[in-house]
Amino acid sequence: MKVEGRNAVRELVLNGTTIDRVLIQNNLHDAVITDLIDLCKSRKIRFQFVAANILNNESVTKHHQGVIAYTSEFKYSATEDILEYAKEKGEDPFILILDGIEDPHNLGSILRNCDCMGVHGVIIEKTRACQVNETVIKTSAGATSYVKVARVANINNEIEKLKKQNVWVYACELGGENLTKANLTGPIAIVIGSEGRGTGKLTLKICDGTVTIPQYGKINSLNASVATGVILYEVRRQRG
């Protein structure tokens, strides 16, 4: 897998991810690049200076910022890993479930939000949804190095498992309880629906409830990553 962008590559290096090699544009000498080179040297990671056109040809996202790292495929976690991580931190589980997010830029932004708000992990489906790829990693600005992502066959089955673990599951959809008035403390998982169809009917049915972000304009919908940021912040605010 190719990981592109200064922040994304830097976080990979800092996180100890196995990196085969790093390509760096040969006419860049700013402080960020110098720091990245020093990190590679200290961790004995091979790096090579190359011309800009080589990076352009290698780039998947076309926004490499002068840096591309070659690493193994993204390592997914399991739902159990997420729950165990929360337990290790001595915190109630705080989980995000994505029901069919298809845009890699949205997924990358969502993972960045999750890292900022202290989410213990994200659950996505293996089919009908975006997977963690080069664009997701680049857009996340390195958050994929820190946020656990579980890839499952069926999110409804995972919701049922979480409920048996005393995790309350709420979907974020129109027509629910006002987000700011809902009790979002304790073990919780939030479901965010896809950009087009929202949350599936069966998924809504098995959730413990629905919460809605109050809106005051003429357009009654938010981008999935923006909506995620709003609701994650409210959960974090209520947790104190």
The alpha carbon of residue 194 and the mean position of all alpha carbons in its chain are separated, in whole angstroms, by: 15
Q: What is the pLDDT of residue 203?
A: 97
Residue 71: HSE in the Cβ half-sphere, 13 Å Cα cutoff: 23
pTM of the predicted model, to two decimals? 0.88
CB count within 10 Å of CB 80 equals 11
Radius of gyration of the chain (CA): 19
Contact in structure between 131 and 124 (CB atoms under 8 Å): yes
CB count within 10 Å of CB 165 equals 12
Structural domains in the chain, CATH included, are 2-71 (3.30.1330.30), 79-239 (3.40.1280.10)
31 class by beta-carbon count within 10 Å (0-12 exposed, 13-18 middle, 19+ buried): exposed
Cβ contacts of 181 within 8 Å, gap of 6 or more? none
Q: What is the pLDDT of residue 92?
A: 98
pLDDT truncated to tens, each residue of the chain (240 aa)? 999 999 999 999 998 889 999 999 999 989 999 999 999 999 999 999 999 999 999 999 999 999 999 998 899 999 999 999 999 999 999 999 999 999 999 999 999 999 999 999 999 999 989 999 999 999 999 999 999 999 999 999 999 999 999 999 999 999 999 999 999 999 999 999 998 888 999 999 999 999 999 998 877 778 999 999 999 999 999 998
| DSSP letter, residue 217 | S
- Identify the CA nearest to 113 among candidates 122, 104, 125, 126: 122
Q: What is the pLDDT of residue 197?
A: 86
Contact in structure between 190 and 97 (CB atoms under 8 Å): yes
Question: What's the chain's length in residues?
Answer: 240
**Pairing, β 188-193 against β 94-99:** parallel
Q: What is the pLDDT of residue 217?
A: 85
